Structure 1
Amino acid sequence: MGAVRTIKRGGSRFYLLTDQPDVRYPGVTSVINMLPKPFLQFWAAKLTAELAVDSLPFVEQMAARDRAGAVDYLKGAASRYTKIRADVGSRAHDLFERLIRGEHVGAVHPDLEPYRALFVDFLTAVNPELIRAEDVAWSDRHAYAGSFDALIRVWLDDDGKPDPTRKGVPAVLMADWKTSAATYPDVALQLTAYAMADRLIAPDGSSVPMPEIDGAAVLHITPDGWALKPVRVDEEVFSFFLALRRVFDWDRDVSKSALGKAIAASAKRLETGTQRRS
């Protein structure tokens, strides 16, 4: 079995196997991006407005020299913020993987230290057992794939809360680490898609059937604290993910052939002799 690699096409991520390069499955996140997010329009507008107000003298000076440059500076506010947060999130995820694998991590950048300390606190309070990390969940039945953060085993007490002594009931959870300002319901679509995949593929290309999953959880971790939240994973949630998978095909493929060329149109406007001579 070939190893998995990813490519970006038209803003979407696709997964393919090195021994089957013609088979390209969209990533779970790209499928979920088919959900409408009207709030992003207002969020981006707010960031742009705040930047304009907070840096008004600078923007005025820039506009006097280069109006187009000033416009680009303002309209790029949301994308710059998103990139900064994504960079922090990527570095934090790398740190989390090292820690949950038991690797010793020394001094880290001051921006990452709160994440390091709080993740260590999570490991102590919950005491999870790592089963897999950063492998690819691959669905042959529904043609999608995605890299998940971790598959863990935790022990739960009679109230359903983690028991760090591991004397409770064991449960295998599909887990996701979130460093965003908040967590959102679509994480259920994400984790359900991973849990309902057919197999797991390791970096070396080896493949095993998806183990039985008892549930899912998202670890929301910010510089201020962490919280482990249960996430719904079931057939109903999966049905909505599969609906978005169909919408992805419409958006990327079918829609391009939906509208044909005109077979009738209004007559062209008469070009007069005066117009031709001029």
Structure 2
Amino acid sequence: MGSVRTIMRSGSRFYVDPETSIKVPGVTSVVGMLPKPFLTFWASKMTAELAVDSLDFVGRMAANDRDGAVDYLKGASRRYTKIRADVGSKAHDLFERMIRGEKVYSVHPDLEPYRLHFADFLEKVNPELVRAEDVAWSDTHEYAGSFDAILRVWLDEEGKPTPDRSGTPHLLIVDWKTSKSTYADVALQMSAYAHADRIIDADGNEFPMPDLDGAAVLHITPDQWAFKPVAIDREVFEIFLTLRRVFTWDREISKRVIGRAIAKSYGELVTGTQRRAR
């Protein structure tokens, strides 16, 4: 059996079962159904700041190519998002290599703060890797997604890590985040992974989703890191399932709810007098 493939359709990611070729939407695409009105303000602010900070440059560009200047300004948020996504992807690759035990001593200067913080996390928490970068697949609710890691972490009675592994072991599904803040929708994402039916690894091998004790997010920025518990209970998962239904509405049902017109106008009425006057 081969590995799981992903495809993009209308801006959403779908996972393809290597055995049956069944396609299901990705977890992040489902969570993307959540309204995010703040993004409109953020994008307009990025455009405005770019315009103010580069007035002379934009002015010269507009004098020669007005459409080009408009495209340059309206692409401000997209370019920023791409830069952050590139950093996040490279950091995730770095974290996977390190959590698998690879000794990484030298990275690009942009990644060095992430390497140092992740190394500090490994020392302060001392987790045991159980799985990394596999696919969680739900046959029951028809979705899939790639999770970062399942770790075994030892905690004391107050829920604090014991790096000497003297505490009680907890099996956690964990997500690495390199965004500016930790956002609440990570709980929806991780609850979906945790409530999936099975795991598919890179070689196409399948395993049942283990009984997890909880979830956590490791939030790393260039300045600091924090390991935070995340709620993945039934209440949170039900909200994800609501978004899953919204996804079906948006991609399928909404396309067929309005039928063809059974009556309509046929243009402006032309009277006999008007026809004779022609």
Q: Which residue matches 2:11?
A: 11
Say if 1:131 and 1:151, in contact at 8 Å, map to a contact too.
Answer: yes
Q: State the Cα distance separating 1:94 from its structure 2 match.
A: 0.1
- When normalised by structure 2's length, the TM-score is 0.96
Q: CA deviation digits over 1:99-157, x for unaligned, max 9?
A: 00001213100000000001000000000000000000011111000000000000001
Matched ranges for 1:209-220 at <5 A: 209-220=208-219
Distance 1:244 1:175 in 2: 22
Residue 131 of structure 2 aligns to a residue in which SS? Answer: strand
Point out where structure 1 has 5 or more consecutive residues left out of the alignment: none
Q: Which residue matches 1:20?
A: 20
- When normalised by structure 1's length, the TM-score is 0.96
Distance 2:153 2:60 in 1: 57
Q: CA deviation digits over 1:175-202, x for unaligned, max 9?
A: 0000000011110001110000001110
Distance 2:270 2:160 in 1: 80
Residue 20 of structure 1 aligns to a residue in which SS? Answer: coil
Residue 6 of structure 2 aligns to a residue in which SS? Answer: strand
Distance 2:275 2:209 in 1: 72
Instruction: Establish whether residue 188 from structure 1 lines up as the match of residue 191 from structure 2.
Output: no
Q: Indicate the percent of aligned positions where both proteins have the same amino acid.
A: 68
Q: State the Cα distance separating 1:3 from its structure 2 match.
A: 2.1
Q: Which residue matches 1:48?
A: 47
Q: State the Cα distance separating 1:19 from its structure 2 match.
A: 2.8
Q: What code does the residue aligned with 1:178 have? A: K
Residue 162 of structure 1 aligns to a residue in which SS? Answer: coil
Residue 169 of structure 2 aligns to a residue in which SS? Answer: strand
Distance 2:242 2:47 in 1: 34
> Matched residue pairs, number?
277
Matched ranges for 1:1-278 at <5 A: 1-21=1-21, 23-271=22-270
Distance 1:225 1:244 in 2: 32
Q: State the Cα distance separating 1:2 from its structure 2 match.
A: 4.0
Structure 1 residues 277 and 97: CA distance shift in structure 2, 3 A? farther
Structure 1 residues 99 and 269: CA distance shift in structure 2, 3 A? same
Residue 34 of structure 2 aligns to a residue in which SS? Answer: coil
**TM-align CA RMSD:** 1.6
Distance 2:69 2:276 in 1: 43
Q: State the Cα distance separating 1:20 from its structure 2 match.
A: 2.0
Q: State the Cα distance separating 1:258 from its structure 2 match.
A: 1.1
Say if 1:2 and 1:20, in contact at 8 Å, map to a contact too.
Answer: no
Residue 187 of structure 2 aligns to a residue in which SS? Answer: helix
Residue 265 of structure 1 aligns to a residue in which SS? Answer: coil
Say if 1:217 and 1:228, in contact at 8 Å, map to a contact too.
Answer: yes
Distance 1:24 1:276 in 2: 62
256-265 vs 117-126, greater mean Cα deviation: 256-265
Q: State the Cα distance separating 1:275 from its structure 2 match.
A: 9.5
Q: CA deviation digits over 1:32-80, x for unaligned, max 9?
A: 0000000000000000000000000011111111111000000000000
